[in-house]
Homo-oligomer: A and B are copies of this chain.
Amino acid sequence: MDFKHLVNTRYSVRSYSSQPVEEEKLMLVLEAACKAPSAVNYQPVKFYVIKSPGKLQEIFGCYHRTWFSTAPVVIVVTGLHSIAWKRGSDGKDHTDIDAAIAIDHLTLQAADLGLGTCWICNFDVEKTSKTLGLSSGEEPIALIPLGYPSDENIPVKKRKRLNEMVEWL
């Protein structure tokens, strides 16, 4: 589908069917994420693909919503501060930016394949780091459930009007 249609198609899916995600589709989603651009091409991002029942139970414990535990796959995206580019003039760390680009690629590729995702940022950071055994320089940025939506009603996007967000100079 063209990109305009894809943007309108993607929404935050908060209910997943039990239908498994095909390996081929999962690989396409990960490949899109890994092809995302990053500052100076440093790629300071990692993806933890959680599919095993035991590990899924652990990650479900990092964000307590009943709907979250319906996801057949959860991808935890982390940022590596030691690798990320820092701007010379003020030291600004670009980890969050690079991780977000990769996640946006991931969620859009999923939507293009008929799969649902949802950005979860309000998770338990300490518990997630412990569950994955992350070192101190590696920060979990988002938990991304992945699977087929069980609710196929795409909600209408509520967004600010263009003239509230854009200035012409």
A residues lining the B interface (CB < 8 Å):
1-4, 6-8, 10, 12, 27-28, 30-32, 34-37, 39, 41, 43, 45-52, 55, 85, 87-90, 92, 94, 96-101, 103-105, 108-109, 111-112, 119, 121-122, 124-125, 132, 141, 157-160, 162, 165-169
- Please give the count of copies of this chain that the complex contains: 2
Given known A-B contacts A3-B6, A34-B159, A35-B159, A51 and B100 have beta carbons under 8 A apart:
no
Shortest distance between the CB of A85 and any CB in chain B (Å): 8
User: Contact at B47–A35, with CB atoms within 8 Å?
Assistant: no
Identity of the chain B residue whose Cβ is nearest the Cβ of A42 in the assembled complex: B160
Q: Establish whether residues B96 and A41, one from each chain, have CB atoms under 8 Å apart when the complex forms.
A: no
Select from chain B the residue with minimum beta-carbon distance to A74: B169
Nearest-CB residue, chain B, relative to A122: B87
Task: Given the known inter-chain contacts A46-B167, A100-B96, A166-B30, please indicate yes or no for A1 contacting B2, CB distance below 8 A.
Answer: yes
Q: Which residues of B contact A39 (CB under 8 A)?
A: 119, 121
